[in-house]
């Protein structure tokens, strides 16, 4: 009589199960890097934005220290700048050049590094560009100087006019 241990089919099944166990990797959550999460947040901002052009990552602040749990929201802070590409473009965002004098926005919020959840909560606000404010100040200053010069010229003409009206004394 043949026992189950001696059965060749049981040995094959055991071997097959062992091989399947080695080939199939356990389902572990895929974790995004901090940089990948920020780039996803930029993509999300572009999708939700009512702007006519796309924005691209300009500067990313340092990654804050924190725990390694990918499901814990991580604070993020970065700047985006307007590109020349309209929202309807089919180009990859990396191929879109920054727009000259394009609007810059400061973005802050939280992201979750778990790729399956892909959660982010970001708010972006426009930054007043210091160079623009400096240019405005210079323009106002030059305008003020020109107005001052014009007032001086008008004053001199008035003085000249009245000095010519005085009766001249003959000697």
Tell me the pLDDT of the chain (171 aa) as tens digits: 555 555 566 667 666 666 666 656 545 557 778 888 888 889 989 999 999 999 999 999 887 776 677 778 888 899 999 999 999 998 999 999 999 989 999 999 888 877 776 677 889 898 876 556 667 777 788 888 888 888 888 888 888 887 877 666 665
Say what the pLDDT of residue 57 is.
95
Which two three-digit tokens encode residue 3?
């026992």
CATH topology of domain 34-131: Nuclear Transport Factor 2; Chain: A, (3.10.450)
CB 126, CB 105: distance < 8 Å: yes
- pLDDT score recorded for residue 129: 60
List CB contacts of 76: < 8 A, sequence separation 6 or more. Answer: 34, 37, 38, 41, 61, 107, 108, 109, 110, 111, 120, 122
pLDDT at 131: 56
Global confidence as pTM: 0.57
56 forms bridges with which residues in the sheet?
Answer: 81
């Amino acid at each position: 009589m043949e026992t189950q241990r001696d059965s060749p089919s049981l040995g094959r099944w055991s071997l097959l199960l062992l091989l399947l166990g080695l080939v199939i990797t356990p389902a572990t959550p895929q974790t995004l890097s901090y940089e990948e999460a920020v780039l996803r947040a930029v993509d999300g901002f572009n999708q939700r934005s009512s702007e006519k052009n796309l924005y691209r990552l300009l500067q990313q602040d340092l990654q804050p220290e924190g725990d390694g749990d990918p499901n814990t929201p991580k604070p993020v802070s970065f700047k985006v700048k307007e590109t020349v590409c309209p929202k309807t473009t089919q180009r990859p965002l990396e191929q879109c050049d920054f727009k000259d004098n394009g609007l810059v926005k400061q973005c802050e919020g939280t992201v979750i590094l778990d790729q399956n959840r892909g959660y982010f909560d970001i708010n972006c606000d426009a930054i007043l560009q210091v160079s623009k404010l400096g240019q405005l100040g210079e323009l106002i200053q030059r305008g003020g100087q020109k107005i001052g010069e014009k007032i001086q010229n008008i004053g001199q003409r008035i003085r000249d006019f009245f000095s010519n009206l005085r009766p001249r004394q003959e000697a």
